[in-house]
């Protein structure tokens, strides 16, 4: 922690850092004081008995240099100090000061400074920090946002999946304000080694995840971004290295990604156990809370019992006024707003109305400020009104930009990018955009595409630098808005179907609508099933992917075609489905639960051509289910669907009976051995243990001692809870300090 980047601190950060440091240096409590434009005080101490006054001036002037600082101190601060007449005056600054510069400042304030030792430049401040590392730990932006941390991230490009993530982490650290959710998440990572950060859109889930990643990176962990979801964790796992894995939007960005949810249901419980048993591994996940709720309703292994021990909920409504104010202050401080605009936001009535607004959200702050920065000069007058307007109508920002500001080319690009899964390949996006805009492949069309992409950057779209020049929306809230935009303008759905070049464009639009919580969008899409049908017949095969590869991409395509076939009763789609079913048979990623759902849909179809595929799907489902059996619970899920599969494929009966019985016997013995091993944490609960004991009672297992011990354990008398309600620790109620907020925003009035 020797290389501190003081330039990454805000003005108020620096004042609070100086307060902590000089309380140690002077051995007395200090108060942060903000009397207004001409007070000349940042920190002060007044002796109770004598009334002797000590004043400390904090100047965060890194970019100005020592000459500018000295001029300012002589011209602006000296008259104030003379009026204050302190008994001792100290200066602390982030400017590097030479010996002669310190002597000159000491000479300016010779009546109040004891010696040049009362002048602390950047080097002296850094020396104090090295001497007092406990102070460094209190100031998160100082110790997490050091250039060493960021440089380390950027140098690990083999395991760190994208430079974009490193830059995103860097940006998050600038704007983050510590809150209780961070402490809770950190405890989960320390104790459980895994943490699922859940909450509503825009509350700061990803920001908190970035802070946790940087926190662990500073402790020697390598960050691994699992962009292909959970299977990346297994692929990138290195037993010899400390690793922290990051999966953002675990089960979908704005709507439930059923493939990702099925994968999480299949893999996450086992992965959580692996993390818990490994001291060198950590896992950070994020998801919108309503998606977690939807996933739990359909996937039994993601229920409350399975996820609650790992879940950290973040909610803007639970943030104290102090925390809201600091988040707001940080967003303004690190923005491109000019001094006049910042001064508007520094008015007490203004910032209080913003931080107490019922729709307060860090994301709305970010986008509202970005919109103000883009305002033409004649519209930048009332900054506060613009922010509050976005708070009153969260869709206003995107509505204004997308419906009023963008030209036809840029709007076509937004809609085309909407049809991509998460992000789009740059060149394929250009081709799909040309098709949507009705343009041929010419140099003029390419020029218009590049111009449109520039118009969308950075507020609406951005490049993911580490993913081959892929293009993605700057924030999922844009997709939220576009869901509603398409519901209000259903003719756009017809246009997207009519111009689609890649099958995954259709899959993305259909699944987003049919799984969304917007009935109007769902109705608009289903009512236009014939448009999707015609587009599939025209495209015929999947080919290249505009968007990112889904974990069960082949299954998603078949599921989509089957759904259309059921809705439109189309024999033509069943014929085309042969091609995609062949791909599905070669796709080892497809989960048994996905295949089982498809098997039931195909078997129940009124179209004879579809029903012909049911037998083959049943066989694939059985094979996939057998390959997914890692524990007793997995076996029980297969047994629950086995009768359905055997009815569709009688040929399975003899093979299935022997394979299932052999696996059941093997698992029962393995689970009992693990339960009996004192060095291994058992994965089964008492109900499962009872099932295994009942099964082994009539089996030849050779584990008499382990069996008897387990039976004695199970038949024991239950012990009463050892912790009474009075012993359960209660989190303290956060306290707000409005004077701290007033002092913070006063730094904008002084600029």
Residue extents of the structural domains in the chain: 6-133, 145-318, 333-394, 397-551, 652-714
d(CA 535, CA 499): 8
d(CA 452, CA 416): 12
d(CA 55, CA 41): 6
pLDDT of 540: 77
Classify 155 in phi/psi space as left (phi over 0), alpha (psi -120 to 50) or beta. Answer: alpha
Q: Is residue 42 within 8 Å of residue 21, measured between CB atoms?
A: no
Secondary structure class of 119 (helix, strand, coil):
strand
pLDDT of 717: 61
Q: Is residue 10 within 8 Å of residue 78, measured between CB atoms?
A: no
Instruction: Give the pair of three-digit tokens for residue 547.
Output: 């968007």
Q: Which of 465, 449, 369, 439 is nearest to 417 (CA)?
A: 449
pLDDT of 3: 61
Secondary structure class of 628 (helix, strand, coil):
coil
d(CA 123, CA 127): 6
Q: Is residue 484 within 8 Å of residue 521, measured between CB atoms?
A: yes
Confidence (pTM): 0.71
pLDDT of 148: 45
pLDDT of 427: 92
Q: Is residue 617 within 8 Å of residue 594, measured between CB atoms?
A: no
pLDDT of 419: 96
Q: Residue 310, exposed/middle/buried by CB under 10 A (0-12, 13-18, 19+)?
A: buried
pLDDT of 467: 45
Q: Is residue 751 within 8 Å of residue 335, measured between CB atoms?
A: no
Which residues are paired to 225 by β-bridges? 246
pLDDT of 417: 96
pLDDT of 189: 95
pLDDT of 158: 37
d(CA 559, CA 552): 10
Q: In what order do the strands lie in the sheet with 222-225?
A: 222-225, 243-247, 281-288, 194-199, 311-313
Tell whether omega for the bond before 237 is within 30 degrees of 0, i.e. cis. Answer: no
d(CA 114, CA 119): 10
Q: Which residue positions in the chain have pLDDT lower than 50?
A: 1-2, 35-38, 145-161, 466-467, 721-735, 751
CA dihedral 546, 593, 530, 484 (to 10 degrees): -70
d(CA 89, CA 83): 13
pLDDT of 34: 56
**CA dihedral for 473, 478, 480, 481, sign (positive or negative):** negative
Q: Is residue 525 within 8 Å of residue 506, measured between CB atoms?
A: no
Q: Residue 435, exposed/middle/buried by CB under 10 A (0-12, 13-18, 19+)?
A: middle
Q: What does DSSP assign to residue 481?
A: H
CATH of domain 145-318: 3.40.50.300
Q: What is the largest CA-CA distance in the chain?
A: 100
What's the first-to-final CA gap in the chain, in angstroms?
Answer: 31
Pick the CATH number of 6-133 from 3.40.1350, 1.10.10, 2.30.30, 1.10.620: 3.40.1350
């Amino acid at each position: 922690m020797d290389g501190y980047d003081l330039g990454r601190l805000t003005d108020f950060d620096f004042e609070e850092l100086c307060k902590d440091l000089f309380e140690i240096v002077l051995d007395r409590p200090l108060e942060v004081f903000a009397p207004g434009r001409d007070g000349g005080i940042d920190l002060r101490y007044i002796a109770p008995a004598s009334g002797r006054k000590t004043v400390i001036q904090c100047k965060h002037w890194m970019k100005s240099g020592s000459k500018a600082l000295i001029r300012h101190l002589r011209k602006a601060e000296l008259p104030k100090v003379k009026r204050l007449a302190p008994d001792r005056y100290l200066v602390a600054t982030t400017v590097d000061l030479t010996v002669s510069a310190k002597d000159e400042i000491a000479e300016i304030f010779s009546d109040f400074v004891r010696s040049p030792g009362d002048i602390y430049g950047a080097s002296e401040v850094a020396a104090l920090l090295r001497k007092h590392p406990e102070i460094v730990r209190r100031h998160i932006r100082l110790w997490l946002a050091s250039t060493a941390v960021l440089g380390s991230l950027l140098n690990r490009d083999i395991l760190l999946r994208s430079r974009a993530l490193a830059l995103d982490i860097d940006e998050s650290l600038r704007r983050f304000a510590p809150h209780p959710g961070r402490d809770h998440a950190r405890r989960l990572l320390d104790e459980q080694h895994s943490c699922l950060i859940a909450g509503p859109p825009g509350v700061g889930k990803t920001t908190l995840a970035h802070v946790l990643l940087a926190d662990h990176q500073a402790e020697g962990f390598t960050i691994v971004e699992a962009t292909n979801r959970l299977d990346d964790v297994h692929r990138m796992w290195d037993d010899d290295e400390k690793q922290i894995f990051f999966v953002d939007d675990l089960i979908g960005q704005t709507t439930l990604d059923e493939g990702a949810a099925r994968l999480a249901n299949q893999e996450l419980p086992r992965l959580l156990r692996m993390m818990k048993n490994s001291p060198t591994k950590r896992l950070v996940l994020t998801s919108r809370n309503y998606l977690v709720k939807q996933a739990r309703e359909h996937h039994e292994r993601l229920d409350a019992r399975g996820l609650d021990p790992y879940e950290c909920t973040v909610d803007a409504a639970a943030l104290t006024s102090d925390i809201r104010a600091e988040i707001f202050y940080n967003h303004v401080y690190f923005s491109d707003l000019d001094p006049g605009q910042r001064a508007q936001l520094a008015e007490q009535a203004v910032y209080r109305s913003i931080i107490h607004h019922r729709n307060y959200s860090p994301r709305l702050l970010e986008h509202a400020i970005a919109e103000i920065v883009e305002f033409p000069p004649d519209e930048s007058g009332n900054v506060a009104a613009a922010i509050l307007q976005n708070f009153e109508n969260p869709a206003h920002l995107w509505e204004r930009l997308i419906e009023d500001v963008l030209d036809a080319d840029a709007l076509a690009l937004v809609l085309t990018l909407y049809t991509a899964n998460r992000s789009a390949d740059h060149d394929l996006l250009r081709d799909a955009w040309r098709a949507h805009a009705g343009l041929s492949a010419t140099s003029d069309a390419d020029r218009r595409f590049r111009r449109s992409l520039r118009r969308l950057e950075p507020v609406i779209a951005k490049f993911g630098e580490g993913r081959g020049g892929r293009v993605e929306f700057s924030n999922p809230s844009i997709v939220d808005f576009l869901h509603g935009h398409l519901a209000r303008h259903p003719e756009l759905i017809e246009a997207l179907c009519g111009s689609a070049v890649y099958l995954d464009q259709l899959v993305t639009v259909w699944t987003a609508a049919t799984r969304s919580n917007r009935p109007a969008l769902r109705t608009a899409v289903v009512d236009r099933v014939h448009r999707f049908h015609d587009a599939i017949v025209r495209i015929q095969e999947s080919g290249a992917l505009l968007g990112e590869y889904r974990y069960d991409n082949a299954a998603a395509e078949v599921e989509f075609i089957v759904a259309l076939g059921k809705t439109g009763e189309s024999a033509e789609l069943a014929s085309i489905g042969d091609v995609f079913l062949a791909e599905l048979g070669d796709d080892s990623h497809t989960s048994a639960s996905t295949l089982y759902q498809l098997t039931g849909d195909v078997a129940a179809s009124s179209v004879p051509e579809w029903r012909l595929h049911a037998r083959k799907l049943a066989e694939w489902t059985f094979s996939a289910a057998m390959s997914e059996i890692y524990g007793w619970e997995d076996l029980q899920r297969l047994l629950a669907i086995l009768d359905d599969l055997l009815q569709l494929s009688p040929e399975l009966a003899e093979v299935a009976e022997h394979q299932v019985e052999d696996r059941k016997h093997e698992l029962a013995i393995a689970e009992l051995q693990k339960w009996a091993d004192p060095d291994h944490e058992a994965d089964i609960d008492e109900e499962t243990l009872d099932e295994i004991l009942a099964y082994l009672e009539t089996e030849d297992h050779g584990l008499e001692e382990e069996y008897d011990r387990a039976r004695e354990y199970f038949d024991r008398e239950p012990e009463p809870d050892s912790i009474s309600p009075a012993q359960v620790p209660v989190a303290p109620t956060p306290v707000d300090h409005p004077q701290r907020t007033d002092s913070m925003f006063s730094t904008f009035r002084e600029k």
